[in-house]
Amino acid sequence: MEFLLVYLVIVGVAAKSHKVQVCPKRCVCQMLNPNLATLCDKKGLLFVPPNIDRHTVEMRMGDNFVTGIKRKDFANMTRLVDLTLSRNTIGSIAPHAFKDLENLRALHLDSNRLTRITNDTFSGMSKLHHLILNNNQLMHIHSGAFNDLTALEELDLSYNNLEGAPWVAIQRMSSLHTLNMDHNMLSHIPEGTFSGLQKLKRLDVTSNKLQKLPPDPVFQRAGVLATSGSMGPTSFALSFGGNPLRCNCELLWLRRLRREDDLETCATPQHLAGRYFWTVSEEEFLCEPPLITRHSQELRALEGQSVTLRCKARGDPDPIIHWIAPDGRLMSNSSRAAVHTDGTLDILISTVKDSEDIAWKLTS
């Protein structure tokens, strides 16, 4: 019996010493029964410690000097629920670096140096609820980067350099309630992006390059458009100030909604520039029909030569000029023709068929 007691004591000491060994140097490991938290904030770390206990549930590595995430750093950490990597100098993430984190709920990557997100950065993270990527240097997010994030409830992409976003993937985030995309360089949001996001309650697109917002049921179902403070059951927090809004008929739907304040201003048309959006009367939200002001007259050229046709138009919103071939098809860029955004058509190699009428079409 005494021998058995001594053996148990030895095993107990060995187990305790093992727990001490698996805690990375400089870090603090807390056993919050039955979960393990590994706390490595503000430890001057240059990389993710290789000896993290793979059973860790919460991992904090904020305020360090980690420059990149490797594939092996979080391998086999299937129990991890919360991972904080905020305020490091992370500029790269290896493909599938988070793939084993099948139970991760929150990932904080804010205040780093990421410039792009690829299709395999967040692959397999189907249970992720919170993805925080604000204050990076993001310029591009690949179209399939968010395809697996269907359970996401909060997405923060604010304070980056984004000119676009994977809108199709965002449209499928049916659980999303908060979307922050303020302080970027967005100039367009496709119509219908938010139509299926019935749980969305907060949208911030402040300080971008948006001239308009697309009409969407997610806005129109709101009784009051709020910006902050208490949220009622029918309230929707929408922030879109600091954008060069074009106050014409395309924003009339937004002007007709109720609003708590009047901080947003119009940038165009010129006679409305600087006026508070919510003080402009509905009658002033007008559009000007597109009108062709100048176009190329009859041109003569030998077969095989290049020909340039020009068309100018005005309107509000700015009209888009399309060219129509003699067979009725809409012309696009090809090996024989180049269509430019300024309304110019270059026929690089003319043929006899081109002697028939080539027409133009205006759309707003």
Residue 155: pLDDT band by 50, 70, 90 thresholds? very high
Q: Give me the pLDDT at residue 293, please.
A: 64
Whole-number pLDDT of residue 350: 66
The pLDDT assigned to 224 comes to 54
Pairing of strands 82-84, 68-69: unpaired
13's enclosing H/E stretch is: helix 2-22
The yes-or-no verdict on residue 180 having pLDDT over 90 is yes
Longest CA pairwise span in the chain (Å): 111
- pLDDT tens digits, one per residue of 189-231: 998 899 889 899 999 999 999 999 988 877 766 555 655 555 5
Of the candidates 45, 148, 48, 35, the residue with the CA atom closest to the CA atom of residue 96: 148
pLDDT of residue 308: 79
Q: What is the pLDDT of residue 349?
A: 67
Q: Which pTM was predicted?
A: 0.78
Decide if 323 contacts 360 (C-beta within 8 A): yes
Strand ranges (E), 50-170: 56-60, 68-69, 82-84, 92-93, 106-108, 116-117, 130-132, 140-141, 154-156
